[in-house]
């Protein structure tokens, strides 16, 4: 074969390969759509915590700034900063808030799946089936469940995926490229702008790449990364400190506060291993030789380091291990090169020659075994959707109907009356009611986080028209004002709210719950124009569903014990 014929053959083979990969990519997109239509419940309302970001995005899109209450000072309670800004941009283009949030998440999930497939194929030279395995594992994992719950988790995961791919491409270059170093640095910066912990993950990736390449061969990368974070990251940091009046997102002061949370640390490590458990076997096999052990260490550094970083905050609001989900694409992008050599050796010889029959049987057994393992891994990924919440009853519906959503819709009738809600439930009620809201837990209130807890004097500044709180007591199981109970921040807050309402003559409209040990209290101030009507709407509400079980709640206000 002459040189021209050889080049033509190579080109033809390359075109066929691209055609196959294009068809596989199309199949993945169609598969995701079919899977999401059959196995993901998009009829559910936003999860309680996701509704907080939706409120910020809505206010920003309307030109009110990044504020919790319109007309008040900015506050950074939406920790997914760049996701919130991107959602607001789509809202300005005409999308509804829900479609903007879900649309970004859905598109991000698809792009992450495709990027993982193409990286496995063309960076690691994996065959189609190994690449499809990695892509499908992400496709049917928990990503779409976050989308259904209105979280921006897949958007953050996409930024992490892009950053790590650029880093992996960088270390594969024999000579340092300034433009590739800049691309990696900017992607890392964007990752940090989406969520604060993204900056930690980007730095961990950077350190891993430096150790991988050797610091002496990474001077361009070091200079570019540090310069990018100092110049652009520093400018953003100065802007946000000036805009919000404090350096870190407000929830950090409520959930972090400079303490170490070892329960969160343990939960984070367990979540990280659980989400990608089958592929961690590849990392164990990577310890088989000095060369692969070194590579294993480089790959594990950002994964384990990121998981360990959650020792800095409490684990509350970690719906479906969403804080650790970004480690899944990191695992899927790096497991294959650790076992590539073993996978090649495990393949049976092609049939032919004296042992042709034996080779055919070997191939049949190998294909059957590989198919079984492939199916088991995909099933395991799907099974992660069965443990998104501790109270879900089936794998397709992570949580049931939520009375806070329905009651927020009721209160939305009065959104233009300048009424004030004080509540511990700072998600669905504030977002759907549209009321000015005091978040009494403090995730969205700088004064409360800075002063430690809500006080009656602070509530007097707002003179709230409705007070709602999540209590672990009811009239049938009254609160015990013991020293251990009062030492608990949440319990002490609910007692403060109840005392405030009762001292000032608020009307107890309802105490909803499906157990007397846990309930939602609703108090209504008696002296404003719509007071009687709002009181009646809340107290006669018969379809208030408890979010744990989806069952109709009992109104324990009707079960108040009487003194005979």
CA-CA-CA-CA torsion sign (264, 269, 270, 275)? positive
For residue 401, the model assigns a pLDDT of 83
For residue 563, the model assigns a pLDDT of 46
**Residue 418 — φ and ψ, nearest 5°?**
60, 35
> What is the per-residue pLDDT across 435-482, written as a single tens digit (0 to 9) for each?
999 999 999 999 999 998 999 999 999 999 999 999 999 999 999 999
Q: Does the pLDDT value for residue 189 go beyond 80?
A: yes
For residue 351, the model assigns a pLDDT of 55
For residue 460, the model assigns a pLDDT of 97
pLDDT band at 115 (very low <50, low <70, confident <90, very high): very high
Q: How many angstroms separate the CA atoms of 111 and 235, rounded? A: 29
Q: Does the pLDDT value for residue 352 go beyond 70?
A: no
Q: Does the pLDDT value for residue 564 go beyond 50?
A: no
Q: At what angle do helices 327-334 and 336-346 cross, to 10 degrees?
A: 40
DSSP string, 104-116: HHHHHHHHHHHHH
DSSP string, 172-238: T-SS--HHHHHHHHHHHHHHHHH-HHHHHHHHHHHHHHHHHH-GGG-HHHHHHHHHHIIIIIHHHHH
pLDDT band at 369 (very low <50, low <70, confident <90, very high): confident
Q: Are 463 and 501 in contact (CB under 8 A)?
A: no
> What is the per-residue pLDDT across 487-512, written as a single tens digit (0 to 9) for each?
999 999 999 999 999 999 999 999 99
More confident residue, 196 or 369: 196
For residue 468, list its beta bridge partners.
423, 522
Across the chain, what does the average pLDDT equal? 91
For residue 555, list its beta bridge partners.
512
Domain coordinates in residue numbering, the chain? 3-387, 403-559
Q: Does the pLDDT value for residue 14 go beyond 80?
A: no
pLDDT band at 152 (very low <50, low <70, confident <90, very high): very high
For residue 256, the model assigns a pLDDT of 77
Residues 6 or more apart in contact with residue 109 via CB below 8 angstroms: 32, 138, 139, 143, 144, 147, 154, 157, 158
Q: Does the pLDDT value for residue 6 go beyond 80?
A: no
Q: Are 505 and 537 in contact (CB under 8 A)?
A: no
More confident residue, 428 or 251: 428
Joined together, the tokens standing for residue 403 give 């009375």
């Amino acid at each position: 074969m002459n040189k021209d014929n050889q080049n033509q053959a190579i080109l033809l083979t390359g075109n066929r390969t691209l055609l196959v990969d294009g068809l596989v990519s199309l199949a993945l997109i169609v598969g995701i759509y079919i899977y999401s239509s059959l196995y993901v419940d998009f009829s559910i309302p936003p999860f309680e915590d996701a509704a907080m970001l939706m409120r910020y995005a809505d206010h920003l899109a309307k030109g009110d700034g990044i504020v919790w209450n319109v007309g008040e000072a900015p506050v950074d309670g939406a920790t997914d900063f760049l996701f919130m800004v991107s959602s607001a941009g789509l809202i300005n283009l005409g999308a509804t808030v829900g479609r903007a949030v879900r649309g970004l998440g859905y598109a991000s999930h698809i792009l992450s799946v495709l990027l993982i497939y193409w990286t496995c194929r063309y960076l690691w030279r994996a065959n189609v089936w190994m690449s499809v395995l990695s892509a499908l594992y992400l496709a049917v994992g928990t990503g779409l469940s976050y989308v259904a719950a209105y979280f921006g988790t897949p958007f953050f995961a996409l930024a992490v995926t892009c950053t790590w791919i650029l880093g992996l491409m960088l270390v594969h270059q024999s000579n340092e490229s300034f433009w590739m170093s800049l691309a990696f640095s900017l992607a890392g910066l964007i990752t940090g702008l989406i969520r604060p912990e993204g900056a930690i993950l980007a730095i961990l990736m950077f350190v891993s790449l430096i150790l991988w390449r050797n610091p002496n061969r990474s001077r361009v990368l070091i200079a570019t990364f540090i310069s990018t974070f100092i110049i652009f990251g520093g400018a953003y940091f100065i802007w946000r400190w000036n805009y919000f009046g404090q350096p870190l997102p407000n929830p950090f002061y409520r959930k972090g506060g400079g303490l170490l949370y070892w329960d969160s640390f343990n939960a984070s490590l367990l979540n990280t291993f659980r989400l990608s458990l089958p592929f961690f076997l590849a990392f164990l096999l990577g310890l088989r030789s000095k060369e692969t052990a070194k590579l294993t260490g480089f790959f594990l550094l950002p994964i384990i380091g990121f998981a360990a970083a959650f020792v800095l905050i409490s684990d509350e609001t970690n719906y479906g291990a969403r804080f650790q989900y970004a480690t899944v694409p990191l695992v899927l992008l790096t497991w294959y090169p650790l076992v590539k050599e073993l996978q090649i050796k495990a393949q049976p010889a092609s049939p032919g020659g004296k042992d042709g029959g034996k080779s055919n049987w070997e191939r049949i057994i190998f294909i059957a075994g590989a198919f079984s393992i492939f199916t088991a891994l995909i099933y395991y990924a799907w099974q992660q959707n069965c443990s998104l919440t501790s109270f879900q009853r089936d794998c397709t519906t992570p949580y049931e109907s939520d009375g806070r959503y329905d009651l927020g819709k009721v209160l939305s009738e009065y959104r233009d009356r300048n009424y004030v809600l004080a509540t511990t439930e700072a998600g669905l009620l504030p977002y759907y009611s549209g009321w000015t809201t005091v978040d009494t837990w403090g995730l969205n209130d700088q004064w409360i986080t800075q002063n430690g807890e809500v006080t009656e004097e602070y509530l007097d500044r707002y003179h709230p028209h409705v007070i709602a709180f999540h209590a672990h007591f009811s009239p049938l199981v009254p609160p015990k004002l013991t020293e251990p109970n009062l030492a608990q921040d949440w319990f002490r807050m609910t007692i403060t709210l109840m005392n405030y309402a009762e001292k000032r003559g608020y009307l107890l409209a309802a105490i909803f719950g499906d157990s007397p040990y846990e309930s939602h209290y609703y108090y209504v101030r008696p002296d404003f124009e719509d007071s009687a009507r709002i009181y009646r709407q809340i107290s006669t509400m018969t379809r208030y569903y408890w979010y744990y079980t989806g069952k109709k709640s009992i109104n324990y206000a009707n079960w108040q014990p009487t003194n005979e």
